[in-house]
Amino acid sequence: MYQLVFATNNAHKLEEVAAKIEGRIQLLSLNDINCHDDIAETGTTFRENASIKSHYIYNKYRINCFGDDSGLEIDALNGEPGVYSAHYAGEHGNHAANMAKVLEKLSSEINRTARFRTVISLVWDGEEHFFEGTVEGTIRHELSGTAGFGYDPIFQPDGYNITFAEMTLAEKNQISHRAIAVEKLIEFLKKV
């Protein structure tokens, strides 16, 4: 079985990806390899940030690794919060403040179309490969649901009448942006 490091400290992301991989690969966290470094995401695109993480781990530990960067893109806000999704309201990871800022900015907006986007950078034996996933949807007027994380309580994927935060992990993992990107990653790994 292959060992593969997921360059994240986000327990929710790790749980989602581990559930998707279902034991086909031994998924290691940064904690599992004793990496407690703060990897600065200095890129201006999801692709750049994902690449920074995967290269940092591969270059330091010489172990195959992937990093991801994800975010919410809202059409009426010209793609905001985008690459700045995690710290849109200032403090990194303050989900309540981030959602409040989005809802405030959209308060008088009719167009509420948005998408979640994930880009994965895999460094496998020194070569980089990218996998992307998106899911289209709309931004609700208020929070709904308690599952998931980030913007899940205000994002309703197209074709559903519930938010990501109202879905079980299994339901979300059928359609989410990260799930789509991870499926592409798994397909690639089946061939190596």
For residue 24, pLDDT beyond 90: no
User: Which domains does the chain possess?
Assistant: 3-190 (3.90.950.10)
Question: What's this model's pTM, rounded to 2 decimal places?
Answer: 0.91
The tokens describing 84, both together, are 């700045």
The 10s digit of each residue's pLDDT in 103-136 is: 999 999 999 999 999 999 999 999 999 999 999 9
Residues designated catalytic? 69
Residue of 53, 68, 64, 66 whose CA lies nearest to 2: 64
Dihedral (C-alpha) 101, 10, 164, 69: value to the nearest 10 degrees? 70
The 10s digit of each residue's pLDDT in 52-61 is: 999 999 999 9
User: Going by DSSP bridges, is the β-strand pair 65-74/113-124 parallel, antiparallel, or unpaired?
Assistant: antiparallel
**Spatial CB neighbours of 190, under 8 Å, sequence gap ≥ 6:** none
3-class SS of residue 20: helix
